[in-house]
Amino acid sequence: MTDLHPDAVLSLIEGRHGDPFSILGPHLIHGQQVVRTFMPGASAVTLMSADAAARMELIHPAGLFAGATGVGPYRLRVDWNGTVEEAEDPYSFGALLGELDVHLLREGRHQDIGRCLGAHPMVVENVPGVRFAVWAPNARRVSVVGDYNAWDGRRHPMRLRHDAGVWELFIPRLRPGAVYKYELLDAQGHLLPMKADPVAWQAEPSPATGSVVADTARFVPPRALAGSGDLTNHPVAVYEVHARSWLRGDDDRVLGWEELGDKLIPYVKGMGFTHIEFLPVMAHPFGGSWGYQPLGQFAPQGSLGPPEHFARLVERCHDAGLGVILDWVPAHFPTDAHGLARFDGTALYEHADPREGFHQDWNTLIYNLGRVEVRNFLIGSALHWLEHYGVDALRVDAVASMLYRDYSRSHGEWVPNIHGGRENLESIAFLRELSEVIEARCPGKLLIAEESTAFPGVTRKARDGGLGFDFKWNMGWMNDTLRYMEHDPVYRRWDHGLMTFGLVYAFSEKFMLPISHDEVVHGKGSLPGKMPGDEWQRFANLRAYLGFMWTQPGKKLLFMGCEFAQLREWNHDRSLDWHLLDEPRHSGVQRMVRDLNRLYRAKPALHALDCDPAGFRWVVMDDADNSVFAWLRYGPGQSEPVLVVCNFTPVVRHGYKIGVPSGGTWQEIFNSDAGIYGGANVGNGGFAYADARPSHGFNASVALTLPPLATLIFDRA
């Protein structure tokens, strides 16, 4: 029983041995089965077989015990100086990951990596417990640590599956809810900071940084959203939400997923939005990053409740007819020592060269998408949220930073690609692979790009040479139109083209028009705060602008609080200012957004051809002196169009002549200057009559009263 090399014993008890199964567990020695176990601090260990109990011999004072038993199952009864525990021996179980799993992991093609790696409760040889698996190919030793082994990395060192660089271990009798981390020795034998599990399904609430064993075996994906699929020709009005600050409870308490759902879902449904988009819900160590520096790419943020509560929130959204979009960050990750940074002592997930691997703007590390294992990890994360949590779309953050190697870098601070160019070929290949995998495995699920450059083909299929996204945020439209609105109306004539330029390229991609959280943070103020003039004019400008946005080609996105004109800049540590709804000018904006959503969904002309140039025609685009714009939106087939007119000056214009495609009565179905919205009730009394006087290339025209700083919508009565 003591037939061990002293160096091997010393390596084991010092926590340096990379192959614990070669020493521990059952071994056949001279025809007899001998069991060894390392229990530092134990006063006695008894070997329990089906028909016998034998006290094991202490063969090293550090806590190495050995004993003989017959071939077959056995248990270890450990006396911790008066406290007795009994369980099966982790080192009596064979390799658990199948050869196919190992092969797919090595090739970077394991699309269910969330079920393969991480911590998973399961029954092995009729014994319940938890199987752990983690990728760390350059580590000398990896151990599971937690309260169950006093955070002692010598107690549960793992087995290395050399072909894939993956370490695994089954710990019998461990249950869901256990907190754990990994302890690693690098190749030089240096002890690294304890690491959270990159593929954990559950994380401790911050500021704690441990991973939690989730009950993955019993996890049931939420019910799907009815009618999900290609939304190109459907209304998409997205309400963007930061879960921790949408609404707080008493004493500024953060609402958990269940309580948040009780209030958020009926509100969003009642406002007429089609989707809720959450800022990243993935576990992140710093709340001030709003989730855009995540570490837990498979775990919802622990401070809002367990994973099953978030899954239930998704299902409740689906039951209410609301789609769920998650912001997802494959571009970079934080440098926290407990996270992915130099995970096994090497630049494993990130690039080694800081010119490729360090993001100067955000002080983060950039994923090395040239490694098949890293691409596999991220694609597995995307599939995890789409399949296991049933979310309907991922909005991919910071795509522009992924596409170009010189993004936000000066000359000499970046490494050209293999052709000497600036394009990041590895990231481009990754995004195409991501879109193709999702299209194949998750039909009907969508990818949305936050991409601010003119990179071609973002929403073209990957098989046709594009990146494969379904929609792209139109950042140019947002920047141009907000810059126009910030001008005093007397100066708007000089920047008239800011409101029309977006239509030059509006159909080059499938666009979403975003007024996101980025427009109300970092000193940018609030949406009404951007508007010029006195209080009345600021609110009138805002109402006119939202009317303009809702009637332009492109799907819609609005950040929380903007729908009722929150006055202060968004603060992620405070609730929205819901008390403002007691004031008519704020409740009026909210009511207007609700009515715009109703019209947008009810009128095919306002959404069905959002991505088709046949759905839009300018009527008035060159009246810079009066800051008036007019256009027609067309639906499919021979349906009558909708006419939209915007007056971006505080001057009432009487008898303003606009050409229309047909004579007769045109009904005024929306007026942002309506009294119920906080306006002055200037308008056309609900309708206008078009006669046979040609104008603007049409055989008929209508003379309208244009309210000040207002948007009007007409359709044929």
Q: Which CATH architecture has domain 6-88?
A: Sandwich (2.60)
- Active-site residue, selected from the candidate residues 186, 397, 426, 595: 397
CA dist 576 and 572 (Å) reads: 9
Distances (CA, A) of 707 to 220, 488, 533, 672, 674: 54, 17, 16, 9, 9
Q: What are the tokens at 362?
A: 């955000």
Which CATH number is correct for 613-716, 3.50.50.60, 2.60.40.1180, 3.30.870.10, 1.10.260.40? 2.60.40.1180
Mean pLDDT over 450-475 rounds to: 97
Give domain limits for the chain. Answer: 6-88, 99-218, 613-716
Q: Looking at the predicted structure, is the pLDDT value of residue 168 above 90? A: yes
Identify which has the larger pLDDT, 667 or 29: 667
- Out of 59-73, 154-168, 446-460, 667-681, which region has the weakest mean confidence (pLDDT)? 59-73
The single residue listed with the structure tokens 């009994």 is: 86
Q: What is the mean pLDDT of the chain?
A: 96
CA angle 117, 120, 122 (to 5 degrees): 130
Please give the pLDDT value at position 71. Answer: 82
Q: Looking at the predicted structure, is the pLDDT value of residue 228 above 90? A: no
Q: How confident is the model at residue 372 (pLDDT cuts 50, 70, 90)?
A: very high
Please give the pLDDT value at position 272. Answer: 98
Furthest-apart CA atoms within the chain: distance in Å: 108
Please give the pLDDT value at position 453. Answer: 93
Please give the pLDDT value at position 29. Answer: 87
CA dist 144 and 187 (Å) reads: 18
CA angle 398, 399, 400 (to 5 degrees): 90
CA dist 398 and 400 (Å) reads: 5
Please give the pLDDT value at position 2. Answer: 57
Q: Looking at the predicted structure, is the pLDDT value of residue 227 above 90? A: no
Q: For residue 278, which phi and psi values (nearest 5 degrees)?
A: -95, 130
Question: Among 546, 549, 548, which residue's Cα sits nearest to residue 563?
Answer: 546
Please confirm, yes or no, whether 397 is among the known catalytic residues: yes
Q: How confident is the model at residue 31 (pLDDT cuts 50, 70, 90)?
A: confident
Please give the pLDDT value at position 1. Answer: 52
Question: Among 657, 325, 632, which residue's Cα sits nearest to residue 471?
Answer: 325
Please give the pLDDT value at position 707. Answer: 98
Q: What are the tokens at 528?
A: 């009404």
Reduced to 3 states, what is the DSSP secondary structure of residue 327?
A: strand
Q: Taking the mean position of all CA atoms in its chain, how far away is CA 319? A: 21
Beta bridge partners of 551: none
Residue pLDDT, tens place only, 586-635: 999 999 999 999 999 999 999 999 999 999 999 999 999 999 999 999 99
DSSP one-letter string for 186-210: -TTSPBPPPB--TT-SEEPPTT---
* Amino acid residing at 247: L
CA dist 569 and 525 (Å) reads: 5
pTM above 0.75? yes
Mean pLDDT over 500-527 rounds to: 96
Please give the pLDDT value at position 155. Answer: 96
Q: Looking at the predicted structure, is the pLDDT value of residue 358 above 60? A: yes
Mean pLDDT over 406-412 rounds to: 93
Q: How confident is the model at residue 269 (pLDDT cuts 50, 70, 90)?
A: very high
Q: Do the Cβ atoms of 566 and 580 come closer than 8 Å?
A: yes
Mean pLDDT over 328-337 rounds to: 97
Question: Among 84, 303, 72, which residue's Cα sits nearest to residue 202?
Answer: 303
Go through the chain and tell me how many residues it has: 717
- Active-site residue, selected from the candidate residues 186, 450, 509, 715: 450
Torsion angle of the four alpha carbons 286, 289, 293, 295, in this order, in degrees rounded to the nearest 10: 30
Torsion angle of the four alpha carbons 589, 528, 242, 442, in this order, in degrees rounded to the nearest 10: 70
* Amino acid residing at 373: E
Q: Do the Cβ atoms of 198 and 377 come closer than 8 Å?
A: yes
Q: Taking the mean position of all CA atoms in its chain, how far away is CA 271? A: 23
- Helix pair angle (372-383, 99-107), 10° resolution: 110
Are 6-88 and 613-716 equal in CATH topology? Answer: yes
Residue pLDDT, tens place only, 4-15: 889 999 999 999
CA dist 73 and 65 (Å) reads: 18
Q: Looking at the predicted structure, is the pLDDT value of residue 509 above 90? A: yes
Reduced to 3 states, what is the DSSP secondary structure of residue 85?
A: strand
Please give the pLDDT value at position 394. Answer: 98
Q: How confident is the model at residue 464 (pLDDT cuts 50, 70, 90)?
A: very high
Q: How confident is the model at residue 564 (pLDDT cuts 50, 70, 90)?
A: very high
CB proximity list for 328: less than 8 A, separation 6 or greater: 280, 282, 381, 382, 385, 394, 395, 396, 397
Mean pLDDT over 340-366 rounds to: 96
- Say yes or no: domain 99-218 is CATH 2.60.290.11: no
Q: Looking at the predicted structure, is the pLDDT value of residue 399 above 60? A: yes
Mean pLDDT over 502-511 rounds to: 97
Please confirm, yes or no, whether 577 is among the known catalytic residues: no
Residue pLDDT, tens place only, 532-552: 999 999 999 999 999 999 999
